[in-house]
Structures are given as C-alpha cells and as structure tokens.
Amino acid sequence: MAEKSQNTVITRPFFRLMLAQIGAGMLVVATEMAVSMGLGLGLEVWILVSCQAFFASILSLFFALGWGWVVVQLALPWVTWGALYLEIPSWVYLACFALTYAFYRNATSERVPLYLSNRTTWLALGELIERSPNPERGTFIDLGSGVGGTLDYLGKLKPGWQFNGVESAPLSFVISWIRAKFSKNHNVFVNFADIWTVDLGGVDMVYAFLSPAPMERLLAKAKNEMHQGRVFISNSFWPDGEDFDECLELSDSRKTKLYIKKM
C-alpha cells in the first residue's frame, strides 16, 4: 500500500512540476559554477533566471507534462524574480493563493482541475437531449459544473427540463449560483456539494467534464445508481477497458470527444 501511495504522489502533475524546478535549479547552480571556475565570470541574474526557465521546461517534457505545464515552467522563474524585485507585500501572495484555491480546490483533493465546456459542446449536449425519449421534459445533472455556462445555455434551450449543477470549488460555485439566481432560467439549480454524495437515481442525463483520475469510480457510481435507459456522458475522458455506446468527435479546435453510455 505504501508503494502504491508513493507512486500515486509522483504521478501527480504538481509534484512532477516541482521536481522539474528542483532539477533545473541544480543544473543552474552547476552551470554557474562551471562558468565561474572556467572563465572566472559571474552570470547576471537575468541569465540565471533564463536558464532556470529553460531547464525546467525541458525537464517538464521529460516528465511527460503537457505543453500547458511547460508554459507555466517558463513563466514561474520570471514571476518569482519579478515579485522579489518589486518587493510585493506578503498579503498579495496569500490573496493569490486563496483565490487559486477557491477555483482549483478539486485539483488538490480529486486531481480535477477547472475545465470549462465550450459552446460547441453545449450545442452537442442540446442535440443529445433532443435525441432522448422525452426531449421536452427531463432532468439533467452536471457533475463539476464550474461557473455554470453549460447549465445557463441548456436552461434557456430546454425550459421543460430541470438542470442541476454540482460544484465543490467555492468560488466557482458562488459564480454559478449568482449566475443562476439572476438569470431568467427558473429551471437551473446549483448545489455546493461533493459529486460522490449526489444520488444519480431518477436523473435522465448525467454529464461530467472532470479528468482521468476519478472516471473509473464515477462510471461505477453511474452504473450502480442510474436507472435503465438513462444516459451518462463524459467529456474527453473515459476509463480504460470500459465500453461505451457512442463517441462524438466535435468540430471545435481541440476536437472534443463526448463518450456516451446508455445504462
């Protein structure tokens, strides 16, 4: 069990990001020592920061981090140096941390970052509702509903349906709750809750845009709780070895795939 837990920690993007920065720091120190001993020169701070960013980005690719993380690695040393140079007050860092945590709380506990469904996906979900046995009346739940864009669009599109969002990141929930309250969609509701506590029984269509990490458990929950004939949809992620009934590849820039499973 200890070995499994350790491997799980190492595979998390945050820890690979930190390993890349630590490794880059060691390479920078080695480079500075080599230049100092060989040429008798000291490197300027901006050169050291550039080397840190470069080495960290290369190591990120080695650690199989995506290009988004590579951009973070390139920017992080410059942001850190800039913050030290400008002597930014400590409370600013605390405020930034609190704001980030409020949006990305699930990334630390469930390894689920904030992914937002785009308009192309909203259109596809509307078409899937039209294909349902009763396109004029039903219940739809968005597990990890983010800032509520999907719910807002579908609520306007299908006034006879009830749309429920479930979100546990505090700031995302507040934004989506305010959005639902002040819109004219009286069929949209947002709940501050953990997705694992929500009963999926009686729901006609369940939608999730999470990450690979929770998908096996989530699909098992859907199979156990959803009634026969109801539909489970996952955006982009599907458990290995599990079958699905249909996969829609959308025409957006990222070629979004919707995996569809009929219970």
Condensed to tens digits (0 to 9), the pLDDT of residues 50-80 reads 888 888 888 878 777 767 677 777 887 887 7
Contact 161, 135 (CB under 8 A): no
Q: What is the pLDDT of residues 8-54, one digit of tens each?
A: 333 456 677 778 888 888 888 888 888 777 777 777 888 888 888 88
Between 124 and 81, name the one with better pLDDT: 124
pLDDT of residue 210: 86
Q: Could you tell me if 67 and 125 lie in one domain?
A: no
Indicate whether 32 belongs to any domain: yes
pTM beyond 0.85: the answer is: no
Higher pLDDT, 232 or 104: 232
Tell me what pLDDT residue 50 has.
87
Domain range enclosing 39: 2-88
What is the domain count for the chain? 2
Same domain flag for 141 and 257 = yes
Both 73 and 199 in a single domain? no
So what's the pLDDT on residue 28? 83
Q: Examine the domain organization and report whether 245 and 140 are in the same domain.
A: yes
For the chain, the average pLDDT equals 82
104 part of a folded domain: no
pLDDT in tens, 142-189: 998 888 899 999 999 999 999 999 988 887 888 889 888 888 889 999
Q: 99 pLDDT exceeds 70?
A: no
Would residue 108 count as lying in a domain? no
Provide mean pLDDT across the span 86-103.
Answer: 58
Same domain, 167 and 231: yes
User: For residue 25, what pLDDT is reported?
Assistant: 83
Q: Residue 141 in contact with residue 201, Cβ under 8 Å?
A: no
- Say whether both 13 and 74 belong to one domain: yes
The predicted pLDDT at position 205 comes to 97
pLDDT band at 5 (very low <50, low <70, confident <90, very high): very low
pLDDT at 92 exceeding the cut of 50? yes
pLDDT at 1 over 60: no
In a domain, 55, yes or no: yes
Compute the average pLDDT of residues 220-247: 94
Same domain assignment for residues 55 and 170: no
pLDDT band at 2 (very low <50, low <70, confident <90, very high): very low
Asked if 148 and 36 sit in the same domain, the reply is no
Which positions ≥6 away from 261 have C-beta within 8 Å? 219, 222, 231, 232, 233, 234, 243, 244, 245
Q: Is residue 37 part of a domain?
A: yes
Whether residue 73 is found in the same domain as residue 124: no
Above 50 in pLDDT, residue 240?
A: yes
Q: Are residues 70 and 149 in the same domain?
A: no
